[in-house]
């Protein structure tokens, strides 16, 4: 899990730095026409800019989620490979954006879908969070399916 956290954090923070120093806020560079662009945006809110200007709330929310992720992970006795990967993505994504909010007062976003202009511009920390949430849902499904099978076997023996 630690390797995943470090790898994603390095990828996230290095790419944010590169785009922050090479692109002016709002400048657009086409990568694949009609597919995706790089456009630096200083996001003072969450996705789609919601809660813009509510930095203290967003900071507290990030700290609460990060704490929940860590506490749940530490308390979980059955740390499967899937759980380790899941929490690696969740924690690194949360820390990457939390770092930006603490240091800059905004999150540096730069990946834009050219074919879907209304979709929020995002970064690798955002990708990690989305992947982490999807993996967590998969983990929960696997966990509940396995627990139902164990419960079914116990009922069969009675």
pLDDT per residue as tens digits for the range 39-75: 999 999 887 778 888 889 999 999 999 999 999 999 9
- For the chain, what percent of residues have pLDDT higher than 90? 71
Reported confidence tier of residue 153, pLDDT bands at 50, 70, 90: low
Q: What are phi and psi of 125, to 5 degrees?
A: -65, -40
Whole-prediction pTM: 0.87
Positions annotated as catalytic residues are 109, 126
* Residue of higher predicted confidence among 20 and 26: 20
* Residue of higher predicted confidence among 115 and 88: 88
Give one DSSP letter per residue of the chain, joined into a string. Answer: -HHHHHHHHHHHHHHHHHHHHHS-TT-EEEEETTTEEEEEEEESSSGGGTTTT-HHHHHHHHHHHHHHHHHHHHH-S---HHHHHHHHHHHHHHHHHHHHHHHHSSEEEEEEETT-TTSPPB-HHHHHHHHHHHHHHHHHHHHHHHHHHHHHHHHHH-
Reported confidence tier of residue 99, pLDDT bands at 50, 70, 90: very high
Question: What pLDDT shows up at residue 149?
Answer: 72
Task: Give the Cα separation of 11 and 130 in Å (integer).
Answer: 16
Confidence check: pLDDT of 152 > 70: no
Reported confidence tier of residue 116, pLDDT bands at 50, 70, 90: confident
Mean pLDDT of 138-155: 80
Distances (CA, A) of 7 to 10, 81, 101: 5, 17, 20
């Amino acid at each position: 899990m630690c390797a995943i956290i470090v790898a994603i954090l390095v990828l996230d923070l290095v790419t944010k730095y590169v785009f922050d120093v090479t692109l002016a806020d709002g400048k657009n560079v086409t990568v694949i026409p009609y597919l995706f662009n790089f456009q630096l945006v200083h996001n003072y809110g969450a996705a789609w800019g919601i809660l813009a200007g509510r930095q203290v709330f967003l900071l507290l929310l990030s700290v609460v989620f990060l704490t929940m992720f860590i506490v749940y992970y530490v308390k979980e006795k059955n740390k499967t490979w899937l759980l380790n990967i899941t929490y690696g993505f969740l924690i690194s994504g949360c820390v990457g954006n939390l770092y930006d909010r603490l240091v800059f007062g905004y999150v540096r976003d730069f990946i834009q879908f050219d074919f879907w202009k209304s979709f929020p511009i995002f970064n690798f920390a955002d990708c990690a969070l989305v992947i982490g949430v999807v993996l967590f849902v998969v983990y929960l499904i696997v966990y509940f399916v396995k627990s139902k099978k164990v419960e079914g076997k116990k009922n069969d023996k009675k």
